[in-house]
Amino acid sequence: MSARPRRWLAALREEDGMVTAFVVVIMMALVLVAGLVLDGGLALAAKVQAIDDAQAAARAGAQAIDLPTYRATGQITLDAGTATTDAEQSLKTAGQNGTVNVAGDVVTVTVTVTQHTQILDLIGVNALHETATGSAIAEQEAP
């Protein structure tokens, strides 16, 4: 065998630099997994908080009973304007932005939150957006 093929075979058998490439790939994978765990956990916590705030705002709005109608007829109906204002005030107190919808005796609140990422920002994912909805019904307990 001539010298040239021996050099090529030796070059193919050399593993210099292979460990470095392996470490780089593994480290990138670990950073990605850490980003998913940390930023995913933060997004999940933000969604849970948004659900809590949406439900609390819906309950606040469902307490806005139209008292003159209740006194006259004994029927529970909502004052839509007051229910909307009360729910929006509850959202404002919680530091959330959202929409309030009053339909009959049901108050529905939708909250949208943006959770800025900590680690996934390194790969271009700047924020995670979550939406939560809560509803409450104004109803009279059975005597």
pLDDT value for 38: 93
Residue 19 is which amino acid? V
User: What tokens does 135 get?
Assistant: 């509803």
Q: Average pLDDT for residues 66-81, to the nearest whole number?
A: 87
What's the CA gap between 82 and 98, in Å, rounded?
16
pLDDT band of residue 133 (cuts 50, 70, 90) is: very high
pLDDT value for 84: 93
pLDDT band of residue 123 (cuts 50, 70, 90) is: confident
Residue 118 is which amino acid? Q
DSSP strands (E only) in the chain:
98-103, 106-116, 127-137
pLDDT higher than threshold 70 for residue 14: no
pLDDT value for 75: 84
Q: Say whether 115 sits in a helix, a strand or coil.
A: strand
pLDDT band of residue 24 (cuts 50, 70, 90) is: confident
- pLDDT by residue (tens digit) across 82-109? 999 999 999 999 999 999 999 988 999 9
Residue carrying the six token digits 């800025």: 116
pLDDT higher than threshold 80 for residue 127: yes
**Residue 125 zone, left/alpha/beta (φ > 0; ψ -120 to 50; rest):** beta
pLDDT band of residue 1 (cuts 50, 70, 90) is: low
Query: Which among 81, 132, 89 is positioned nearest to 108, based on CA atoms?
Result: 132
Strands 106-116 and 98-103: antiparallel
pLDDT value for 121: 87
Average pLDDT, the chain: 87
Residue 99 is which amino acid? T
Contacts of 97 (CB under 8 A, 6+ apart): 91, 111, 112
Residue 109 phi/psi, 5° resolution?
-120, 130
